[in-house]
Amino acid sequence: MVVGAAVRSGGGGSTPPALTASCTTPGLALSATSVRRGGLLQYSAVGPNDTAIVVALDAARLLPDLAAVPLPGRTDTQVVKVAKRFTACRTNGQLGVQVSPGQHTVSVFPAAGGTPLTSRPLTVTDR
């Protein structure tokens, strides 16, 4: 199980993916639909102000200690254990993708734990 990942706010010389702010409906945009394992993925997320969130791959549920319960059929997850807060109903960041090649799900969770607020598919390649 992958338990953490590199995360950075903004930066990297690239602009986070565009996503219209919403203070009522959670949303997630990814910089790519496919990324190489070990590659950098940028994301933008929207939702209610002052809500703390974390991003995870292949997690069905997040526990309060930020341990992840894998999606059915999965054994590994990746959780970015650095919580981010929505400011002006949005936040963005980057993560180094460490899961194995294949089809995956990127989700935004409440940092206090629970089920995904929103999710997007991601293909991870080995090249």
Integer-rounded Cα Rg, in Å, for the chain is 13
State yes or no: pLDDT of 15 exceeds 90.
no
- What CATH number labels 7-112? 2.60.40
pLDDT per residue as tens digits for the range 36-85: 999 999 999 999 998 999 999 999 999 999 999 999 999 999 999 999 99
Owner of token pair 């319960």: 69
Domains of the chain: which residue ranges?
7-112
Q: Which helix (H) or strand (E) holds 68?
A: strand 68-70
> CA 10, 120, 23: angle at the middle one, nearest 5?
65
Cβ atoms of residues 117 and 47 within 8 Å: yes
State yes or no: pLDDT of 126 exceeds 70.
yes
Confidence tier at 11 by pLDDT (50, 70, 90): very low
Structure tokens at 93: 């960041």
Residues β-bridged to residue 42:
94
pLDDT per residue as tens digits for the range 77-115: 999 999 999 999 999 999 999 999 999 999 999 999 999
Neighbouring residues of 60: CB distance < 8 A, sequence distance ≥ 6: 68, 69, 70, 71, 72, 115, 116
